[in-house]
Amino acid sequence: MLSATAPTVEVELAITGREVEFTPAGLPQRMAGDVYLNAAPTAHSDRPIGKYEEVLTPILADVNGDSLPDLVGTTGVSTFTFFVNSVFPKGLASVTTANVSYIQGVNAAGELLVNSVGTIIEGTGLAKRLSGGFTSTSVVGFYPSFSMHTEATFHLTGKAGKLLNTLTEVVSTLEHCAGDSDRHGWQMHQPAQDDAQHANPEGKVRSHDADQHLRAVDYVLDREIASILPIRGRHKQPDDTVADVPLAA
């Protein structure tokens, strides 16, 4: 008998804040930044895999007895958009969450320590049927300049959760590969560069290695999608050989 419980996966993401907007009263009303796979930035994920934007409503309370409202937290609606610039310019998926955040204290540098809980209320693209939520911890500074670092754990339920988990890793890998291309001064899949590559064997090797790398990534993604979709098919191996692969029954 099959279990009716939907599979749940965890995705570890990090957010680096880039923008903040304030109300006329000086309270934060919007934040935006870059999303990274795992802690950001790291050697594994030195380029963002997506964008974060949140519209905030302050939670005010008198916490020191002076009869004046103090900022104790926020409610908010966040949108996380996952993308690959060169391949999926419009994004692979987006997730919208409803959040509640409370200030836990202040560190020695005067930065706010914030805990947040969010619930997924909408998904688009490959996250259309995604459900679940996240918990996160943030260190937020407003003066002399804005800074924010958030570490979030998303708990994703359903087949779309497993797929999104795989896609975040694939997106990170492709972005990293694109970064290697930029650093080495060559571009993948550009036949017009053949003459230059004949004159530069090292560049040709790099291009070949990049193509092999992308084929390997494509195989991993294909295999993971195959484990979710109830079909059977034929899948290329990274070495371009073809094998029959049984997919999820």
pLDDT, position 136: 98
pLDDT band at 197 (very low <50, low <70, confident <90, very high): very low
Report how far residue 103's alpha carbon sits from residue 117's, in angstroms, rounded to the nearest whole number. Answer: 12
Beta bridge partners of residue 51, listed in sequence order: 34, 81
* pLDDT class of 127 with cuts at 50, 70, 90: confident
153: confidence class by pLDDT, cuts 50, 70, 90: very high
Between these two residues, 50 and 164, which has the higher pLDDT value?
50
Question: What is residue 221's three-state secondary structure?
Answer: helix
Of 180, 172, 177, 174, the C-alpha closest to 39 is 172
Contact 76, 56 (CB under 8 A): yes
Q: Give the whole-number percent of the chain exceeding pLDDT 90.
A: 41
Lowest mean pLDDT among 14-18, 63-67, 121-125, 236-240: 236-240
CB environment 197-234: b (16+ within 10 A), e (fewer): beeeeebbebbeebeebbeebebebeebbbebeeeeee
> Which of the two residues, 196 and 11, has the higher pLDDT score?
11
CATH architecture of 8-158: Beta Barrel (2.40)
- Structure token digits, residue 246: 């049984």
The CB-side HSE value for 183 (13 A sphere, CA atoms) comes to: 8
- Mean pLDDT of all residues belonging to the chain: 73
119 torsion bin: left (phi>0), alpha (psi -120 to 50), beta (else): beta
Residue 158 bridge partners (DSSP):
none
Looking from the CA of 234 toward its CB, the CA atoms found within 13 Å total 4
Least confident of 111-120, 146-155, 188-197, 217-226: 188-197
Query: Using only C-alpha atoms, what is the Rg of the chain?
Result: 22
Q: How many CB atoms lie within 10 A of CB 191?
A: 7
Q: Residue 132 pairs with which residues in a beta bridge? A: 156
pLDDT band at residue 248 using 50, 70 and 90 as cut-offs? very low
Q: What tokens were used for 23? A: 């109300």
CA distance 95 to 32: 14
pLDDT for residue 6: 61
* DSSP symbol at 177: H
Q: pLDDT: is 10 or 28 the higher one? A: 28
